[in-house]
């Protein structure tokens, strides 16, 4: 049971990074042209602003949208995995602060490499710092990540909407998990992913942020509403009712929370976009130096605000349900709680409308891979149908993809967020040292 809970944590934690990354889209004119894997990732975070024209406040807001996603709703169970004591919130918040700081520093590493190598993308930065021979590594990792997230999105759509459809009294076939997946795929995610341009979905940025802010506010409001004896407490299934017991003591299960936090701030694959789009600002110093100073402020502000919102959700969920927190905290709230139902609709709708942005990255990576193997990439529409057939079949046949999510989260997400930036910066500094200590430009 402990292992299953941990895997569910990792599964939903992985959604945190990508649900949020898709929300980064403001009002892009996304074309369907094929691009390399890293350019595919850039599509996920494309901005309407011209290169070097984005202000610091708008970039900070977009960065927060890129970091914070629906996966933050899995954080309370990470805390509950190692303690049911309210006192456990203190070390949990400390761990969250450390994770946010380290992740922010690695985010800034990517920009430093871009500045030092005059690069505008992950692919270019990797080739100029580490080498051309291994230039396939970042696109391959992005492809694996988007495949895993696409499958998980489909599963969450089935789990969320089957509950919603059941509460609405819809026919049993449609209210089943398989029926919900089939219906939302056929009439929702597939048609949206076939659009020649995703610019029509620009409203999903505001939709996603509004949904998350509403959910956070609702969770804070309900903190005192689920106590023993209340109507809402009685409406919750017994295993999900609030449970607080025992004193705080160290447990190895704290690493369940650590594993979630290690991925909770991951948005590093859009760092080059933020760096290129940020205006350098006025001043006497060289433009590149001014830009890096502003990027440091952007990183500090964006990650600090994201950590604050994440902390609110984690604390509100845990202080309400304690050791009974589910891997998807909204499952703890009573089916009769109308505010909770609205939150489920908001999060489910967010996933449906942001799914196409994840699909674009996966489709372009798949086309690039097939082109490298067969010399020619298939057309956009057949590739889309093929990917949907694969992801939908897997999502329907398996009810728990926690193991796949845990592996991809531990290896792929960690590599993108921590290992690759460190390798690129290390190689950049080494090359500069071999060149005789050229003047710093980062």
Digit-coded pLDDT (tens) for 407-420: 666 678 888 889 99
Residue that wins the pLDDT comparison between 306 and 327: 306
Model confidence at 195: pLDDT above 50: yes
Per-residue confidence (pLDDT) for residue 437, from 0 to 100:
55
Report the pLDDT value the prediction gives residue 407, as an integer from 0 to 100: 64
CA distance 237 to 224: 18
122 contacts 115 by C-beta, under 8 angstroms: no
Residues in the chain: 442
Check whether 40 has a pLDDT greater than 90: no
CA distance 140 to 121: 15
- CA angle centred on 255, ends 249 and 258, rounded to 5°: 115
pLDDT of residue 97: 96
Question: 33 pLDDT exceeds 60?
Answer: no
pLDDT band, very low/low/confident/very high, at 400 (cuts 50, 70, 90): low
Q: What is the mean pLDDT of the chain?
A: 80
Summarised one tens digit per residue, pLDDT across range 350-391 is 788 888 888 887 888 788 778 877 888 889 899 999 999 999
Percentages of the chain per state (helix, strand, coil), in multiples of 5: 75, 0, 25
Q: What pLDDT, on a 0 to 100 scale, did the predictor assign at position 55?
A: 87
Query: What confidence score (pLDDT) does residue 406 get?
Result: 57
pLDDT top residue among 365 and 46: 365
201-257: pLDDT as tens digits: 766 667 777 888 899 999 999 999 999 999 999 999 999 999 998 778 778 888 878
Q: What is the CA radius of gyration of the chain?
A: 22
Whether residue 287 is predicted with pLDDT greater than 70 in this model: the reply is yes
Choice between 275 and 358, residue whose per-residue pLDDT is larger:
275
* Residue 28 or 178, more confident: 178
**Which tens digit of pLDDT belongs to each residue from 168-178?**
889 999 989 99
- pLDDT band for 144, please (50, 70, 90 cuts): confident
By three-state DSSP, how is residue 253 classified?
coil
Three-class SS state of 49 = coil
Give the pLDDT score at 50: 39
User: What pLDDT is recorded for position 402?
Assistant: 53
Task: Quote the percentage of the chain above a pLDDT of 70.
Answer: 83
* Whole-number Cα distances in Å, 98 to 40, 264, 265, 419: 30, 12, 11, 17
In this predicted structure, the answer to whether residue 30 has a pLDDT above a threshold of 70 is no
Give mean pLDDT, residues 47-64. 72
Burial 35-44 (b: 16+ CB within 10 A, else e): bbbbbbbbbb
Where does the pLDDT of residue 61 fall: very low under 50, low under 70, confident under 90, or very high at 90 and above?
confident
Determine what percent of the chain is predicted with pLDDT higher than 90.
35
Tally of CA atoms within 13 A in the half-sphere of 345 that contains its CB: 12
* DSSP label at residue 322: B
- Asked if residue 38 has pLDDT above 60, the reply is no
Q: Between 100 and 404, where is the model more confident?
A: 100
What confidence tier does 51 reach under pLDDT thresholds 50, 70, 90?
low
């Amino acid at each position: 049971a402990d292992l299953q809970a941990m895997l569910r944590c990792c599964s939903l934690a992985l959604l945190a990074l990508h649900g949020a990354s898709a929300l980064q889209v403001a009002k892009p004119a996304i074309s369907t042209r094929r691009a390399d894997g890293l350019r595919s990732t850039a599509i996920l975070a494309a901005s309407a602003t011209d290169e070097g024209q984005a202000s610091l406040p708008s970039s900070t807001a977009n960065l927060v949208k890129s970091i914070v996603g629906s996966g933050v709703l899995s954080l309370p169970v990470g805390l509950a995995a190692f303690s049911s004591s309210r006192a456990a919130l203190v070390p949990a918040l400390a761990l969250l602060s450390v994770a946010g700081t380290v992740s922010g520093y690695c985010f800034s590493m990517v920009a430093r490499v871009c500045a030092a190598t005059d690069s505008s993308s992950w692919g270019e930065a990797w080739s100029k710092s580490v080498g051309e021979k291994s230039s396939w590594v970042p696109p391959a990792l992005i492809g694996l990540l988007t495949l895993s997230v696409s499958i998980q999105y489909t599963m969450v759509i089935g789990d969320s909407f089957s509950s919603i459809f059941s509460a609405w009294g819809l026919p049993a076939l449609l209210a089943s998990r398989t029926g919900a997946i089939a219906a939302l795929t056929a009439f929702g995610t597939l048609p949206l992913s076939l659009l020649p341009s995703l610019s029509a979905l620009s409203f999903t940025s505001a939709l996603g942020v509004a949904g998350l802010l509403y959910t956070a506010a609702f969770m804070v409001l309900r903190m005192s509403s689920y106590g023993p004896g209340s109507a809402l407490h009685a409406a919750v299934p017994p295993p999900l009712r609030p449970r607080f017991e025992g004193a705080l003591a160290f447990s190895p299960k704290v690493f369940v929370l650590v594993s979630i936090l290690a991925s909770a701030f991951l948005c590093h694959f859009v760092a080059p976009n933020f760096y290129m789009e940020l205006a350098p600002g006025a001043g006497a110093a060289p433009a590149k130096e001014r830009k890096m100073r502003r990027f440091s402020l952007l990183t500090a502000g964006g990650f600090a605000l994201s950590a604050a919102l994440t902390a609110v959700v984690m604390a509100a969920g845990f202080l309400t349900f304690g050791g009974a927190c589910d891997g998807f905290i909204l499952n703890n709230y009573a089916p009769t709680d109308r505010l909770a139902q609205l939150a489920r609709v908001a999060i489910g709708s967010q996933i449906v409308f942001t799914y196409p942005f994840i699909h674009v990255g996966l489709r372009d990576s798949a086309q690039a891979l097939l082109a490298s193997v067969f010399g020619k990439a298939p057309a956009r529409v057949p590739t889309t149908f093929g990917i949907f057939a694969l992801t939908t079949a897997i999502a329907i046949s398996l009810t728990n993809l926690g193991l796949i999510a845990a592996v991809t989260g531990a290896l792929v997400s960690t590599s993108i967020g921590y290992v690759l930036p460190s390798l690129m910066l290390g190689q950049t500094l080494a090359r500069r040292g071999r060149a005789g200590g050229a003047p710093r430009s980062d």
